[in-house]
Amino acid sequence: MTEFIWPVPAEHPAFAGHFPGNPIVPGVVILDQALLFAEKLLAAGVDRTGAWQVGNAKFLSPVAPGEVLLFALEQKASGSIAFSVKSGERSVASGSLTPPAP
Confidence at residue 100, expressed as pLDDT on a 0 to 100 scale: 84
Domain boundaries, the chain: 2-98
Superfamily of structural domain 2-98: Hotdog Thioesterase (3.10.129.10)
| Helices marked H in 4-63 | 27-42
In the chain, which residues have pLDDT < 70?
A: 44-49, 102
Confidence at residue 48, expressed as pLDDT on a 0 to 100 scale: 62
Residue 12: active-site member: no
Question: From CA 4, how far away is CA 41, in angstroms rounded?
Answer: 10
Confidence at residue 31, expressed as pLDDT on a 0 to 100 scale: 95
pTM: 0.90
**Cis preceding linkage at 15, omega within 30:** no
- What tens digit of pLDDT does each residue of 55-80 get? 999 999 999 999 999 999 999 998 89
Confidence at residue 54, expressed as pLDDT on a 0 to 100 scale: 94
Beta bridge partners of 75: 81
State the catalytic residue, choosing from 18, 62, 74, 80.
18
CA distances from 102 to 35, 60, 84, 86, 91 (A): 16, 32, 24, 30, 32
